[in-house]
């Protein structure tokens, strides 16, 4: 595609998208009737479910929705409307065509909107407010193990980006970010809150080694 090469393969009971030879990856989650006990357990224990465990959600925004794992989790936890934003047109084509049957038409459901646009650009033009804004990196194990992923800065995880996310949260909304460089991510979250005169104490939660929820 114009953004990256995307390979698709089955792995155990899921379908995986590999980007540019495996530097990044995204896992899809099959529909309810195909869920295995392992995947059902994953809904309760994986970090992806964390914002929905912390707070019931009506409207969710998933930035870099890729194969739709976060979208499926949001729906599973009762989100009434999910906005999925994906910058890569090849991925949007895959999930709405070749993988549409595997996903059981998830991206065509009336409560799901898929937008082929860059995440921050979408926010600037949408004007919407969300109970959950979720952004997860898709670095593969091959990038994470040697620490290579931590050397990359992302336009989606700057102080300015965090400010834009906070502007589009409901009063008690949650910003959930999972990224490969936890120290930098945590420091960025603190700086974004302090820049707005918000005391970070009580507003930032960290789970495991990659996740920050505001």
pLDDT for 157: 85
pLDDT for 149: 46
Cα Rg, the chain, nearest whole Å:
16
How far is Cα 89 from Cα 67, in angstroms, rounded to an integer? 12
pLDDT for 164: 93
pTM confidence score = 0.84
pLDDT for 183: 77
pLDDT for 55: 85
Q: Give me the tens of pLDDT residue by residue for the chain, a chain 214 residues long.
A: 777 889 998 877 778 888 887 778 888 888 777 777 777 777 777 788 889 988 889 999 999 999 999 999 999 899 999 999 999 999 999 999 999 998 999 999 999 999 999 999 999 998 899 999 999 875 444 444 444 444 445 788 889 999 999 999 999 899 998 876 677 788 888 888 888 888 777 666 555 444 555 5
Alpha helices in the chain (DSSP H): 37-45, 50-54, 69-76, 89-96, 119-126, 141-144, 159-167, 182-195
pLDDT for 137: 72
Question: Hey, what long-range contacts does 199-206 have (CB within 8 A, 24 or more apart)?
Answer: 205/54, 206/182
Asked if residue 121 lies in contact with residue 63, where contact means CB atoms within 8 angstroms, the answer is: no
pLDDT for 142: 47
pLDDT for 151: 43
pLDDT for 150: 47
φ, ψ at 131 (rounded to 5°): -75, -30
> How many other C-beta atoms are found inside a 10 Å radius of the C-beta of residue 209?
9
Helix axes 159-167, 119-126, angle to 10 degrees: 40
φ, ψ at 205 (rounded to 5°): -125, 140
Nearest by Cα to 65 from 96, 33, 97: 96
φ, ψ at 118 (rounded to 5°): -70, 140
Alpha helices in 37-118 (DSSP H): 37-45, 50-54, 69-76, 89-96
């Amino acid at each position: 595609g114009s953004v990256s090469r995307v390979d698709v393969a089955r792995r155990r009971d899921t379908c995986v998208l590999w980007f540019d030879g495996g530097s990044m990856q995204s896992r899809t989650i099959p529909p309810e009737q195909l869920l295995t006990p392992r995947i059902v357990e994953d809904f309760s224990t994986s970090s992806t479910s964390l914002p929905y465990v912390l707070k019931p959600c009506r409207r969710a925004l998933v930035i870099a929705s890729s194969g739709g794992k976060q979208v499926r989790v949001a729906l599973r936890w009762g989100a009434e409307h999910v906005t999925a934003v994906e910058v890569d047109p090849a991925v949007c084509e895959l999930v709405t065509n070749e993988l549409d049957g595997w996903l059981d038409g998830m991206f065509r459901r009336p409560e799901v909107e898929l937008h082929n646009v860059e995440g921050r650009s979408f926010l600037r033009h949408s004007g919407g407010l969300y109970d959950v804004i979720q952004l997860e990196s898709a670095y593969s194990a091959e990038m994470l193990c040697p620490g290579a992923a931590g050397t990359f800065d992302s336009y989606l995880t700057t102080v300015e980006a965090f400010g834009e996310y906070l502007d589009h949260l409901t009063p008690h909304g949650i910003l959930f970010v999972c990224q490969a460089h936890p120290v930098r991510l945590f420091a960025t979250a603190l700086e974004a809150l302090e820049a707005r005169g918000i005391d970070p104490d009580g507003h930032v939660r960290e789970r495991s080694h990659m996740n920050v929820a505001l």
